Amino acid sequence: MSTLLEVRDVKTYFYTMKGVVKAVDGISFKLNKGEVLGIAGESGCGKSTLAYTIMRLVPPPGKIVGGEIIMEGKNILKLSEEEFRKQYRWKKISMVFQGAMNALNPVYTVGFQIAEAIMYHEGLSKREAMARVYKLLQLVGIDPKRAHSYPHELSGGMKQRVMIAMALALNPPLVIADEPTTALDVVVQAQVMNVLKKLQRELKMSIIMITHDLSLIAEIADKIAVLYAGKLVEFGTAEQIFLNPQHPYTRGLINSIPRLRGDIKKLEWIPGLPPDLSNPPPGCRFHPRCKYRMDICSKEEPPVVEVEPGHYVACWLHAKK
């Protein structure tokens, strides 16, 4: 497979009155064409900030301070805002934003909100754009007549499908889904995930799926990146991550998932709280919560090592001291 997106040592910091919050601090990974990458971790680990960094939508006081994001041989962080908006945002990289209930404008119909990007980027008339909107809504399982409805007239699941249709409006090769099942019940969650899986297969697009729930991406993801406190701690195929997790944090996340089959076991939990990213602990950021910690863990940051082909982990248990 050819590489669609490569993130190299990207850093995004927030400059606050209390200090510099290192929300994304040196993350690197590759995404191939047609792949689904799941990005998982606790709230506050940098998942959404990474998504906004790729979209170049980091809100103030945040700033992308280092690294490269390569797409089609270009470092898209070097483009001007105008160039990126015209050439990449929504055309090549689009996003399903977290919380459709707040992402949609309440005073415009959902059809117009989808058509707006089509008219801007492709110069189509409103009639031509709406014809595509009807097809997009049908694609995500919504009656095309709903294009003339306002957000408050739709259920939570329908709003989320509208957001997916909006992300697909210009047929981008990469869609970032940021917690697409937030505030939805489990039945609607399953419906939304089935829509994403179906579209990924049919359109052969790449998806970056962001969630704090590893079980949610177990069936859809080809590869999984586990983040902790702004750092990438483990990366590998879904099979490697679930069947052979190497980082203590990844094991903790997996062991906290209820099992549907086999013996009933008490769920494990990870003690402590995530660190303050304006003053992270020295060395490995997970060491204050890790039962396997050693002296070196609190002194030096562990390097990322390849434990098996395509499976990477940042942990002193696997690195040469």
- Looking at the fold, whether 112 and 76 belong to one and the same domain comes out as no
- Looking at the fold, whether 129 and 114 belong to one and the same domain comes out as yes
User: What per-residue confidence (pLDDT) applies to 183?
Assistant: 66
- Looking at the fold, whether 159 and 222 belong to one and the same domain comes out as no
Identify whether 150 is part of a domain: yes
- Looking at the fold, whether 43 and 165 belong to one and the same domain comes out as no
CA-CA distance, 56 to 77, in Å (whole number)?
A: 8
Is the pLDDT at 134 greater than 90? The verdict is yes
The string of pLDDT tens digits covering residues 173-223 is 999 999 887 767 777 788 888 888 888 888 889 999 998 888 888 888 999
User: What per-residue confidence (pLDDT) applies to 217?
Assistant: 86
- Looking at the fold, whether 24 and 127 belong to one and the same domain comes out as no
- Looking at the fold, whether 193 and 57 belong to one and the same domain comes out as yes
Burial class (CB in 10 A: 0-12, 13-18, 19+), 11: middle
Identify whether 320 is part of a domain: no
Q: Which two tokens stand for residue 75?
A: 């470092």
User: What per-residue confidence (pLDDT) applies to 199?
Assistant: 87
- Looking at the fold, whether 17 and 162 belong to one and the same domain comes out as no
Identify whether 33 is part of a domain: yes
> For 104-118, 150-164, 260-274, which range has the lowest pLDDT when averaged over its residues?
260-274
- Looking at the fold, whether 256 and 164 belong to one and the same domain comes out as no
Q: Phi first, then psi: what are they for 54, rounded to 5°?
A: -60, -35
User: What per-residue confidence (pLDDT) applies to 230?
Assistant: 95
> For 1-10, 160-169, 192-201, 261-270, which range has the lowest pLDDT when averaged over its residues?
261-270
Residue 261 neighbours by CB under 8 Å, 6+ apart: none
- Looking at the fold, whether 162 and 204 belong to one and the same domain comes out as no
Instruction: Please report, for the domain that includes residue 304, its CATH number.
Output: 3.40.50.300
Confidence of residue 118 (pLDDT cuts 50, 70, 90): very high
Confidence of residue 259 (pLDDT cuts 50, 70, 90): confident
Q: Domain total for the chain?
A: 2
Identify whether 50 is part of a domain: yes
Identify whether 319 is part of a domain: no
- Looking at the fold, whether 266 and 289 belong to one and the same domain comes out as yes
Task: Tell me how crowded residue 194 is: count the other CB atoms within 10 A of its CB.
Answer: 13
Identify whether 130 is part of a domain: yes
Q: Which two tokens stand for residue 315?
A: 């942990």
Among residues 111, 146, 171, the one where a domain terminates is 171
Q: Which two tokens stand for residue 51?
A: 């998504």
Print the domain residue range for 122: 101-171
Burial class (CB in 10 A: 0-12, 13-18, 19+), 255: middle
User: What per-residue confidence (pLDDT) applies to 321?
Assistant: 53
Q: Looking at residues 279-291, what average pLDDT do you find?
A: 94
Is the pLDDT at 18 greater than 90? The verdict is no
Q: In the beta sheet, which residues pair with residue 311?
A: 308
Alpha-carbon dihedral angle through residues 311, 198, 73, 9, given to the nearest 10 degrees: -40
Among residues 171, 190, 210, the one where a domain terminates is 171
Identify whether 293 is part of a domain: yes
- Looking at the fold, whether 133 and 219 belong to one and the same domain comes out as no
User: What per-residue confidence (pLDDT) applies to 95?
Assistant: 93
- Looking at the fold, whether 182 and 163 belong to one and the same domain comes out as no
Q: Looking at residues 251-272, what average pLDDT do you find?
A: 81
Among residues 171, 186, 214, the one where a domain terminates is 171
- Site of tokens 């103030």: 60
The 3-state secondary structure of the chain reads CCEEEEEEEEEEEEEECCEEEEEEEEEEEEEECCCEEEEECCCCCCHHHHHHHHHCCCCCCEEEEEEEEEECCEECCCCCHHHHHHHCECCCEEEECCCHHHHCCCCCCHHHHHHHHHHHHHCCCHHHHHHHHHHHHHHCCCCHHHHHCCHHHCCHHHHHHHHHHHHCCCCCCEEEEECCCCCCCHHHHHHHHHHHHHHHHHHCCEEEEEECCHHHHCCCCCEEEEEECCEEEEEEEHHHHHHCCCCHHHHHHHHCCCCCCCCCCCCCCCCCCCCCCCCCCCCCCCHHHCCCCCHHHHCCCCCEEEEECCEEEECCCCCCC
Is the pLDDT at 260 greater than 80? The verdict is no
Q: Phi first, then psi: what are they for 67, rounded to 5°?
A: 95, 180
User: What per-residue confidence (pLDDT) applies to 222?
Assistant: 94
Identify whether 167 is part of a domain: yes
